[in-house]
Amino acid sequence: MINVIREPLIFEISSPGKTAVKLPELDVPEKKDLLNGVPVRNDIEGFPEVSETEITRHFTRLSQMNYCVDFGFYPLGSCTMKYNPKVNEKVASMSCFTSSHPLAPEKLVQGNLELMKTLEKLLCEITGMDAVTLQPAAGAHGELTGMMLIRAYHTAHGNPRKYVLIPDSAHGTNPSSAHICGYTVKEIKSSEKGTISVEDLARVMDEEVAALMVTNPNTLGVFESDICQIADIVHAKGGFLYMDGANMNALAGITRPGDMKVDVLHLNLHKTFSTPHGGGGPGSGPVAVKKILEPYLPVPVIEEKDGQYYLNYDRPQSIGRVKSFYGQFLVMLKALAYILALGPKGIREMAEVAVLNSNYIRKSLEGIYHLKYDTPTLHECVFSDKYQKDYGVSNLDIAKRLLDYGLHPPTMSFPLIVHGALMIEPTETESRRDLDLFIEAMKAIDREAKENPELLKSAPHLTYVRRLDEVQAARNPILRWEKKE
Amino acid sequence: MSYIPISEKDKKEMLARIGVDSIEQLFSCIPENIRLKGDLNLPAPLSELELLEYFEEKGRKNSYEKYLSFLGGGAYDHFIPAVVDYLSSRGEFLTPYTPYQPEVSQGTLQVIFEFQTLICQLTGLDIANASLYDGATGAAEAVLMAYRIKNKKRLLVASNLNPEYRQVIYTYTKNLGLEVVELPYEVTGKIDKKGLESSLNFETSVILCQSPNYFGVIEDIKSLADSAHQHDALLAVVISEPVSLGLLEAPGKLGADIVTGEAQSFGLPLSYGGPYLGFMACKKDFVRQLPGRIAGQTVDVEGRRGFVLTLSTREQHIRREKATSNICTNQAYCALRATIYLETLGRQGLKKLAWLNLQKTAYAIEQLTSIPGVSRKFNGPVFNEFVLEFPEAWEKINQRLEEKGILGGLGLGKHYPGLEKCALITVTEKHSKEKIDRYVQALKEVLR
C-alpha cells in the first residue's frame, strides 16, 4: 500500500445520517410502549455512521497494513504458520454447515455429527490415542481441559494432588492452565542439552504430583528422546503425562504420542492442521486421551448407534462443559478437509519437509547466529542474538530489520531459557526460494549489524508505521477511541 | 493433494547442504521403538474435486435448512450484509498470526481497537478486551475476575442464566474451592428479589445475571447493581443477544461493573455452534484484572499514531502461572466480522434492527397467545425471545410441529424441571409476517 495514505479510525470519518445497510421495513403492525418501565437508550453514543463505499475502503486499506501467510514467509516458532489451503475455506462456507443451529434436533444435523466423529477418529489415528474431545476453543483451552481431566481422575481416586511439573522451556500457557485448574506449578530446569533430565525428574516426582506437562518436540525443536523413560517415572508415582501438541507438525506420520505413553494431549488445529489464525483466532484445541481418562471428557460426547449419530450427555464422571455447544465447528471442517486432502503419505511428507526446511535454515545460518544448544532439532531451531550483541544489536533489532526486507520475524518472547531468542519455524509449505530469501536477509542483517548497527536499532524504516512506543502504550493506556470535547 | 512446494531435486540439494543422506536421518533423535513402521491408517488422499463432493454429500445429510426455525437460546439467526463476508474473506485478515509485530499488523490492531471502542459504546463501560472464546467462557472468566478483585469465595449466579453458561462456570470454579449459589427466578421470569436477599451477604464477590435472561426477560439491572454494591460485591451482566443493546440502556450506565457475553449475533453465522465471539468490558479500575488481549494506542518514532497489544503483564506469556487468564489465541477473526457488521449497521442501523426484532416478537407473542391454551409463562418485559406454556408437554407438540416443517422453539424441561410444558421461542428480523403466521397456523392445527 502507498504509505502516505493514513487510514483514520472509522469514528473519525463518521457523519450523521449515513448507513451502509438497508434493512426491511416493518411488516407487522407497530406496537407502542413495549418497553414500558425498562430503561432504554435514545442513542448509541459515538457509534459510527458511514456508507458502504467507506466501509469497503476502510477495511480494504486496513487489510493492506497486515503481513500475512498469503503474502509471505512467516517463521514464527511454535506457531506453525503454514499455508492455509483455499478449498478449506470453501468447505467451511457451505451453507449446509454455516446455517445449522447448534440446538437443532440431532436427526436434522447428521452430516455435522458424522463429520465431527470422523475428525475425532482421524485424530485418534494420527496421535495414537483412544478418544478425542473437539470442544476446546484453542490450544490453551485444550491445556486447561486436559488438566481438568487429570484432576477429575485424581479426585475420583481420593486425592486431587497438589503439583504439576513443567520444564522451564515451556510456553507460558502451560503454567497458567495448570494454575487455573487449582495446581501449584513446580518448574524443572532443562539440562545442558535443552531437554528434561531424567535424574532431576525422578528426584522431584512424587505422589503429590498430578502430572508432568511436556512439549515434544520442545520449544527448542528438540525431541525428548527419553520420553518413554520420562513417562515411566511419572506413571510409577501415579501421575499423568500431559503432552502439549503445539509442535505436532514435526511428528505426524512419523511417531505418535500415544506410542510414547502420553496420557493426554492437546492439538492445535490452527497449527498442525492448516486452519488460518485469523489474526489471533479462532483456533481449535482438541484434547486426545487414553482410555483411562475417557470417562472424564467434557459433555456432550458424539456417539453412533445403527448409523445414527447422537450427542450423549449422560456421562456421570464428566468434568462438565468447557464451552457452549461443541467447539469451533467450522475450524474442525477445515482441519478435516486438510487431513482428507493429504492422506497418510501426505501427512508424513508434511512432517518430513517441515523438518527438512528447518534444518536447511539452521545449517545455513549456523556460525552466523549463535546456537545455544547444538542438540539436533526437528521442525524449528532457536538461534540467539549473542554474536550481534557485540555490536549493540538485539534480537528485537534483528526482527524489526527483517520487516524492511518484507519478511516476518521469528518468535522472540520465548523460550525463556535462551536469552535473545530467535525461534524459527519455517513449516513445510515454503519453497526453496522463500527459504533462501530469508537466509540471505538474515545474513545481510548480520553484516549490517557489524557495519551499521544504527540501521538495525532504528528499524523498521519501510513499514506503515515505524517502531512503536510500547512503554508509553502500557504506561498511559488509551484503549478506546473517545470523542474529542 | 499436497501443499508442499519443495521438489525432489530441492530435497536432494537441501539434504546435501545439511550434510545428511536422507530425510530419515533428520529424525534419528526419535528412538526406533516408537517410530511408526508403516503408513497411518487414514483414507487415501482426495483431489480438490473429490473433497468438495465429499463435503457436499455429508452436507446433504443435514436437513435443518428445510425447516422454518424459531430456535435461539444463545445462538441467533440474523441477517448478515454481503460486505461482512466479502471484506472478512481477505487473506490479509484471515492468514496473519496474533499481531506480535505491530509495525506490520496495524490492520488487525486497528480493527481490535475499533472493536473495543464499539463494545465500550454498547455496554457503557470504560474498557473492553480484544475477545474471549464465547459467551459461556466469558461468564466463567467474569466470575473468576470478580473473585480476583473481591477475593471472597461466594459467587451468586442467576438460575435464569443460559444453562450451558452455568455448566461452564461450574467446570471452571469447582477446582478452585469457590462456592457457587444459584439465584431462583420469580413469576416475571426475573431473578427473585427475596431469593437474592437471602443469598447475598458480605462474603459475596459477585452477582452474575443475564439480561435479557435465558427466558428472554429483561432484568432490572439497576436494582441488582445496587444490591451488589451495598454488599461490597460486583454486578456482572451477561448478554447473549447483544442486538438488544440497540434499544436497551447500556448496563454500564445502570451500575454493572463487568459486562460479558456472546456477540455471535454480530455477523457470525450459526455454524453449528462455533466459532462464536466472547466479549468482555469493565470499569477502568479493574483493567489489571481483565483477561485476554487488549490493543492500545501509541505513537511511532516519528510521532504517528499506531496501535499495539498492551498491558501484557496481565498475560500468561509474561506472568505465567500468575496471569489473569490462560487465554492466548482468542477469536480475533470473529471480532473482525463483528466490527465490520456493527460499523456497517451503524448508529441508526443497529437501533432499527433492534426495533424490528422487538416489534416482530411482540407480534408473534400476540398471535401465538391468542390460541386457546397457549399463554406466556413469565410476564416480564422481553426483547426477541419469550417463553410460552402449552396445554401439554412441549416435546409432543414439538414433534407434531416438526412434521409440519417447523422448529417451534427450545423445550425448557431438560434444564428446568417443572417447565416441561414450556418452550423458549425466538423471533428475529429474518422472520417475516408470513413466517410468523405460518407458525401460528401450524400451532393451531397441532393443538386442535
- For the residues of A182-242, what is the DSSP string, one character each? TPEEEEE-B-TTSSB-HHHHHHH--TTEEEEEEESS-TTS---TTHHHHHHHHHHTT-EEE
**In a shared domain, residues B374 and B333:** no
- pLDDT, residue B313, reads 81
DSSP code, position A432: H
Could you tell me the pTM of the whole model? 0.98
Is the confidence at residue B362, as pLDDT, over 70?
yes
**Closest by Cβ to A480, choosing from B116, B144, B319:** B116
Cell numbers placing B362: 411482540
**In a shared domain, residues B294 and B375:** no
Beta-bridge partner residues of A240: A211
- The total of other beta-carbon atoms located within 10 Å of residue A314's CB is 8
Mean pLDDT, to the nearest integer, of B259-273?
98
Contact (CB<8Å) B92/A68: yes
The CA distance from A334 to A328, in Å, is 10
**In a shared domain, residues B414 and B434:** yes
Domain positions in chain A: 87-341, 343-472
The helix or strand, by DSSP H or E, that contains position B359, with its residue range, turns out to be helix B332-369
**In a shared domain, residues B205 and B276:** yes
Q: How far is A451 from chain B (nearest CA, A)?
A: 23
Q: Give the β-pairing of B385-389 and B375-376.
A: antiparallel
% pLDDT > 90, chain A = 96
Phi-psi region of B58 (alpha: psi -120 to 50; beta: other; left: phi over 0): alpha
B391-B396-B397-B398 Cα dihedral, nearest 10 degrees: 140
- pLDDT, residue A244, reads 96
b/e sequence B46-74, b meaning 16+ C-beta within 10 Å:
beeeebbebbeebbebbbbeebbbbbbbb
Does A26 contact chain B (CB < 8 Å)? yes
Task: Mutate one of B134, B265, B272, B305 to test the A interface: name it (highest A CB count within 10 A).
Answer: B272
Contact list, A359 vs chain B (CB under 8 Å): 18, 26
Give the position of cell 483455499: A86
- pLDDT, residue A2, reads 53
| Domain of residue B124, CATH code | 3.40.640.10
pLDDT digits (tens, 9 = 90+) for A199-217: 999 999 999 999 999 999 9
Contact (CB<8Å) B113/A109: no
Q: Are B423 and B390 in contact (CB under 8 A)?
A: yes
Last residue of a domain, one of B341, B367, B391: B341
pLDDT digits (tens, 9 = 90+) for A229-261: 999 999 999 999 999 999 999 999 999 999 999
Contact list, B344 vs chain A (CB under 8 Å): 19-21, 52, 55
**In a shared domain, residues B206 and B223:** yes
In a domain, B90, yes or no: yes
The CA distance from B203 to B154, in Å, is 6
pLDDT digits (tens, 9 = 90+) for B42-58: 999 999 999 999 999 99
**Closest by Cβ to B218, choosing from A38, A328, A329:** A38
**In a shared domain, residues B336 and B420:** no
Q: Are A273 and A339 in contact (CB under 8 A)?
A: yes
Does A382 contact chain B (CB < 8 Å)? no
% pLDDT > 70, chain A = 99
b/e sequence A220-241, b meaning 16+ C-beta within 10 Å:
bbbbbbbbbbbbebbeeebbbb
- B32 by Cβ neighbours in 10 Å (0-12 / 13-18 / 19+) ranks as exposed
Assign A297 to helix, strand or coil.
coil
Cell numbers placing A276: 488460518
Assign A12 to helix, strand or coil.
helix
In a domain, B43, yes or no: no
Is the confidence at residue B200, as pLDDT, over 80?
yes
Is the confidence at residue B289, as pLDDT, over 90?
yes
Task: Mutate one of A18, A28, A79, A254 to test the B interface: name it (highest B CB count within 10 A).
Answer: A28
Q: Which residue of B has its CA nearest to A25?
A: B356
Contact list, A101 vs chain B (CB under 8 Å): 64, 69, 71, 75, 77, 270, 272, 407
Contact list, A341 vs chain B (CB under 8 Å): 1, 3, 45-46, 48, 51
Mean pLDDT, to the nearest integer, of B16-43?
97
pLDDT digits (tens, 9 = 90+) for A135-175: 999 999 999 999 999 999 999 999 999 999 999 989 989 99
**Packing angle of the helix pair A432-451, A329-365 (nearest 10 deg):** 50
Contact (CB<8Å) B113/A9: yes
| Domain of residue B382, CATH code | 3.90.1150.10
The CA distance from B267 to A141, in Å, is 24
pLDDT digits (tens, 9 = 90+) for A76-107: 999 999 999 999 999 999 999 999 999 999 99
Q: What angle do CA B102, A334, B35 make, to 5 degrees?
A: 95
The CA distance from B96 to B104, in Å, is 10
- The total of other beta-carbon atoms located within 10 Å of residue B291's CB is 27
Q: Are B199 and B207 in contact (CB under 8 A)?
A: no
Q: How far is B302 from chain A (nearest CA, A)?
A: 7
Q: Quote the mean pLDDT of chain B.
A: 97
Contact (CB<8Å) A102/B273: yes
Does A33 contact chain B (CB < 8 Å)? no
pLDDT bin (cut points 50, 70, 90) of residue A484 is confident
Contact (CB<8Å) A327/B274: yes
**In a shared domain, residues B113 and B222:** yes
Count of structural domains, chain B: 2
Q: How many CA atoms lie within 13 A of A433 on its CB side?
A: 3
Please state, in angstroms and as integers, the Cα–Cα distance from residue A242 to each residue in A95, A127, A228, A288, following that order.
Answer: 38, 13, 13, 10
Contact (CB<8Å) B110/A47: no
- pLDDT, residue A125, reads 98
Q: Quote the mean pLDDT of chain A.
A: 96
**Closest by Cβ to A23, choosing from B101, B300, B353:** B353
In a domain, B212, yes or no: yes
- Counting every residue written for chain B, the total comes to 448
Does A439 contact chain B (CB < 8 Å)? no
Contact (CB<8Å) A431/B6: yes
Is the confidence at residue B178, as pLDDT, over 70?
yes
- pLDDT, residue B166, reads 98
In a domain, B58, yes or no: no
pLDDT bin (cut points 50, 70, 90) of residue A3 is low
- The total of other beta-carbon atoms located within 10 Å of residue A475's CB is 10
Last residue of a domain, one of B299, B316, B341: B341
* CATH fold for domain A343-472: Aspartate Aminotransferase, domain 1 (3.90.1150)
The helix or strand, by DSSP H or E, that contains position A64, with its residue range, turns out to be none
Edge-to-edge strands of the sheet including A264-266?
Answer: A131-133, A287-289, A264-266, A240-244, A209-215, A163-167, A184-188
- Counting every residue written for chain A, the total comes to 485
- pLDDT, residue B1, reads 64
- Of residues A406, A35, A355, the one with CA closest to residue B383: A35
Q: Which residue of B has its CA nearest to A363?
A: B18
In a domain, B21, yes or no: no
Among A357-366, A391-400, A408-417, B156-165, the least confident range: A408-417
- pLDDT, residue A4, reads 61
The helix or strand, by DSSP H or E, that contains position B63, with its residue range, turns out to be none
Assign A287 to helix, strand or coil.
strand
In a domain, B286, yes or no: yes
- A306 by Cβ neighbours in 10 Å (0-12 / 13-18 / 19+) ranks as exposed
A285-A286-A288-A293 Cα dihedral, nearest 10 degrees: 90
**In a shared domain, residues B380 and B401:** yes
Identify the CATH number of the domain defined by range A87-341: 3.40.640.10
Last residue of a domain, one of B319, B341, B363: B341
Q: Which residue of A has its CA nearest to B276?
A: A328
Please state, in angstroms and as integers, the Cα–Cα distance from residue B296 to each residue in A285, A403, A475, B97, B288, following that order.
Answer: 28, 21, 11, 18, 14
**In a shared domain, residues B319 and B419:** no
What is the span of the domain harbouring residue B171? 82-341
pLDDT digits (tens, 9 = 90+) for A435-477: 999 999 999 999 999 999 999 999 999 999 999 999 999 999 9
**In a shared domain, residues B260 and B293:** yes
Is the confidence at residue B318, as pLDDT, over 90?
no
- pLDDT, residue A52, reads 97
**Packing angle of the helix pair A52-63, B332-369 (nearest 10 deg):** 150
- B375 by Cβ neighbours in 10 Å (0-12 / 13-18 / 19+) ranks as middle
Q: Which amino acid is at B231?
A: H
pLDDT digits (tens, 9 = 90+) for A336-388: 999 999 999 999 999 999 999 999 999 999 999 999 999 999 999 999 999 99
Task: Mutate one of A403, A431, A465 to test the B interface: name it (highest B CB count within 10 A).
Answer: A465
% pLDDT > 70, chain B = 100
Beta-bridge partner residues of A472: none
Is the confidence at residue A280, as pLDDT, over 70?
yes
The CA distance from A338 to A86, in Å, is 10
Is the confidence at residue A6, as pLDDT, over 90?
no
In a domain, B59, yes or no: no
- Tell me: cis bond preceding B275? Omega within 30 of 0 counts: yes
The CA distance from A423 to A409, in Å, is 9
Task: Mutate one of A150, A165, A186, A480 to test the B interface: name it (highest B CB count within 10 A).
Answer: A480
Q: Which residue of B has its CA nearest to A55?
A: B344
Does A4 contact chain B (CB < 8 Å)? no
Q: How far is B273 from chain A (nearest CA, A)?
A: 5
Radius of gyration of chain B (CA): 25
Is the confidence at residue A1, as pLDDT, over 70?
no
**In a shared domain, residues B387 and B360:** yes
pLDDT bin (cut points 50, 70, 90) of residue B150 is very high
**In a shared domain, residues B191 and B326:** yes
- pLDDT, residue B308, reads 97
Those residues whose C-beta lies under 8 Å from the C-beta of residue B43, and which sit 6 or more positions away, are A340, A343
